[in-house]
């Protein structure tokens, strides 16, 4: 089961909206049964509140399943969007030897799947995939700066190597929520910088680096043909 990726602000917002929905639904049901109020007011109000509360499990289920890729929904619920396919490069500070030049940038793709409650990150480079094991989206309330923070692990199987590397990433969401940039650290120990641009909110069939690369090429071709 996926761990819930809710901040305290997300939880407070959800409780507040649930309260609004119960209140509106209760008022609507009481109004619908207004002819019964004079004879059985307490019974009508109690039954209306009970019926309104039954809506909450359905709302929570919808929020847990609905992909967070609609701008109106993100605005309505006040939760920033990172769902989608992201493409960019990784610049590692690792050097094979002390005198060696830094390695060239490595192309990297992020597949981020997000709902109101859940957030998962799968990253792909030409050689090694990685997956997140813990995720969090933190938004500073005064500046509205959003940071995507995550713990990840990747398994190296090249050249008969069987090694699990764990690490931590901290990426800032910028450019109208269409760019991620920041740093990562691993227990190797290595560190580096990652920059990513949003390609599309549709990432349902992306499960490898080659899938991400094909999607990127198709999106570029469609963009060029529409000009």
Residues 6+ apart with CB under 8 A from 20: none
Q: What is the pLDDT of residues 117-176, one digit of tens each?
A: 899 999 999 888 899 988 988 888 888 899 999 999 887 766 556 678 889 999 999 998
Q: How many Cβ atoms sit within 10 Å of the Cβ of residue 205?
A: 10
Q: What is the pTM of this model?
A: 0.84
Task: Give the CA count within 13 Å in the CB-facing half-sphere of 125.
Answer: 14
Q: Closest by alpha carbon to 198, among 119, 101, 83?
A: 83
Cβ–Cβ under 8 Å, residues 155 and 164: yes
CA distances from 224 to 15, 38, 87, 194 (A): 46, 68, 18, 27
Q: Which domains does the chain have, with CATH numbers?
A: 8-65 (no CATH), 84-225 (2.40.128.120)
Query: Is pLDDT of 7 > 60?
Result: yes
């Amino acid at each position: 089961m996926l761990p819930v990726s809710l901040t305290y602000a997300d939880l407070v917002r959800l409780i507040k909206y649930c309260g609004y929905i119960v209140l509106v639904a209760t008022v609507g049901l009481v109004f619908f049964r207004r002819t019964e109020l004079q004879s059985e007011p307490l019974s009508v109000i109690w039954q209306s509140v009970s019926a309104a509360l039954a809506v909450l499990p359905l709302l929570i289920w919808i929020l847990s399943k609905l992909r967070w890729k609609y701008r109106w929904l993100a605005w309505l619920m006040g939760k920033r969007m990172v769902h989608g396919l992201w493409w960019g490069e990784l610049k590692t500070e690792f050097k094979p030897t002390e005198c060696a030049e830094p390695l060239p940038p490595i192309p990297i793709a992020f597949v981020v799947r997000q709902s109101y409650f859940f957030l998962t990150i799968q990253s792909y480079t030409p050689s090694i995939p990685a997956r997140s094991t813990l995720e969090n989206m933190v938004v500073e309330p005064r500046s509205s700066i959003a940071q995507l923070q995550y713990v990840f692990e990747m398994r190296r199987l090249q050249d008969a190597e069987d090694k699990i590397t764990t690490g931590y990433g901290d990426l800032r969401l910028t450019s109208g929520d269409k760019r991620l940039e920041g740093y990562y650290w691993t227990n190797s120990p290595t560190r580096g910088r990652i920059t990513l641009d949003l390609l599309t909110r549709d990432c349902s069939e992306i499960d490898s680096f080659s899938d991400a690369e094909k999607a990127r090429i198709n999106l570029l071709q469609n963009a060029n043909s529409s000009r």
